[in-house]
Amino acid sequence: MYEIIATVTKYALTFTIYWFIFRIAKLIYQDIKTMTVWESAKVTNPHLKLLSTLEGNDKQTVTEIFPLITGTTLVGRGIEAQIIIADPHISSKHLQIENTVNGYVIRDLASANGTFLNGEKLMKPLILKEGDEISLGVSKMIFSEGRE
């Protein structure tokens, strides 16, 4: 009786390990597939580049790219935002970027700390241009029209 229980336990454990490895491989595949979609989207579609300054280095590097695919994109730290930035100085619904016939329009949503476009406080909706720097909280983003 002991041998039967030991054999069943051995097979159950082996199955569980293989199932776990399969799930990890599937997640890795989905992640790579998503990265490929984002890489192609950033070239052909307008997007925002999130910048980060490494400690001890003044040079800013792009840490994340957010394609602007939908008509209106909400940026903030809340779960209702399409672009979520984990910065305590950013409001839950901080700013909105809307695709209009005139171009992409940025609008501050009455955020607590404000939104700055190229160093100036955003007081009214403005049309974004290639290379515009958007500052919100301690985070900075660069707008790109996608013609890279």
pLDDT in tens, 117-133: 999 999 999 999 999 99
CA distance 34 to 17: 26
What does 46-76 look like in DSSP terms, one character per residue? Answer: -EEEEEEEPTT---EEEEEEEE--SSEEEEE
Provide the pLDDT confidence category of residue 78 given band limits of 50, 70 and 90: very high
pLDDT in tens, 1-15: 889 999 999 999 999
Across the chain, mean pLDDT equals 86
| pTM exceeding the 0.75 threshold for the entire prediction | no
By mean pLDDT, which of 24-38, 68-82, 132-146 is the weakest? 24-38
